Amino acid sequence: MVRSAADPNLKFKDELEAYTKFTSHGLFTPAPDCTQIEEHLTVPVGHQPTRRSATESRDQPYSQLQPSSKMYSQSQPALQNCNRSKPMVQAHSQSQPLLEPSSEHLPQSDQEMAGETAACDDVIRSEFMDQLLTVVDKYWNGSGSLHKHQKFQGLAKNMMADFVSKCTSKYQNEFHRLNEEMAAFAEENIKLRGRLSSNGEDKLRSKVEEEQKNVEALRGSLQQALEEGELLKKRLFTMETSASSQSQKADDCRRIGEQNNQLTQELSSLKLQLVNYKKMQELTSMLQESHKSLVTTNEHLLKELEETRQHHQHEVEQLHWSYDQLKRSSELGSSATSYGQHNGIL
């Protein structure tokens, strides 16, 4: 994996350079399996991979959305064979006379290892990004649509766990390779100490110290790789925790929104009841005033009726008196007439 040279904690510009900086006292021959890695990783010009459309990838399950996992699995045995062949080459070089390494082979091997590591990293990253973008294209339905999608979150967590496991497996392979190199370095140091002579003792001692420094650098790189693995695990756990907290917050917001809508409806209903109550109060006051007016009018009419009845009674009595007087006067007139007629006859 290529690292940025701006990191102050790095002793080498490239992590692969830290792994291969140690030089043995012998002529190295390239492992036959290492030359086959580029054939697995390189793609012919006429067979460039085409990106699948979103409609085709949506119809396939998650197990079929791994086009580059076969390439990665094919490149892993070649890398392991290359790593296993290194101690054998170093052991073979230890049995040879002490010779200075050629400057033409090491830069080429460094470049090959850097290219292979970068190609493996690119394969893993492109595989992860392709799977993640395919799943996002399949289930994305607008802003915030993936926060509550349980199936998408499960697939994303599985893909992230797979990505982290691949990274950690690569670091574990590097760890085993570094352990093998450290064991080979220790054996080589023992043999070099046995071959020390009086003439080249200082020179060999300085080389042993340099090798020890390289071993310490390898240990530091190994420790840094393990720390990066732990950091990836922590990031994954943090992302899972944040996803669960966001889903919980979304549920709380939805529940609060429902309660708010219910309270708003109740408030509008109470306002409507208050308006109806005010109208009923106004109608009641109007009915009370109308009742008072009717009572007053009724009393006035009863009073007028009583006065009319008394006036009528007085008129009836007056008519009776007039009738009696007329009757008396008529009786007196008839009696006087009959008396005059009787006197005339006589």
Q: How far apart are CA 140 and CA 57, in angstroms?
A: 13
Token pair belonging to 270: 């109470």
Q: Tell me, what's the pLDDT at 270?
A: 92
Residue type, 343: N
* Per-residue exposure over 257-287, b if at least 16 CB sit within 10 Å of its own CB, e if not: eeeeeeeeeeeeeeeeeeeeeeeeeeeeeee
Q: How far apart are CA 29 and CA 130, in angstroms?
A: 38
Q: Nearest-CA neighbor of 170 among 214, 130, 222, 126?
A: 222
Q: How far apart are CA 185 and CA 209, in angstroms?
A: 12
Q: How far apart are CA 341 and CA 230, in angstroms?
A: 162
Let me know if 159 is exposed, middle or buried by CB neighbors in 10 A (0-12, 13-18, 19+): buried
Q: Tell me, what's the pLDDT at 113?
A: 63
Tell me, rounded to whole angstroms, the distance of Cα 173 from its chain centroid: 34
Half-sphere exposure of 128 (CA within 13 A, CB side): 17
Q: Tell me, what's the pLDDT at 287?
A: 92
Packing angle of the helix pair 150-194, 105-139 (nearest 10 deg): 170
Which residue stretches of the chain have pLDDT < 70? 1-115, 117, 196-201, 340-346
Q: How far apart are CA 128 and CA 153, in angstroms?
A: 15
Model pTM score: 0.24
Q: Tell me, what's the pLDDT at 338?
A: 74
Cα angle 334-335-337, degrees, rounded to a multiple of 5: 65
Q: Nearest-CA neighbor of 173 among 79, 269, 40?
A: 79
Q: How far apart are CA 194 and CA 207, in angstroms?
A: 14
Taking only the tens place, the pLDDT of each residue in 238-279 is: 888 888 888 888 888 888 989 899 999 999 999 999 999 999
* Per-residue exposure over 79-89, b if at least 16 CB sit within 10 Å of its own CB, e if not: beebbebbbeb
Q: Tell me, what's the pLDDT at 271?
A: 92
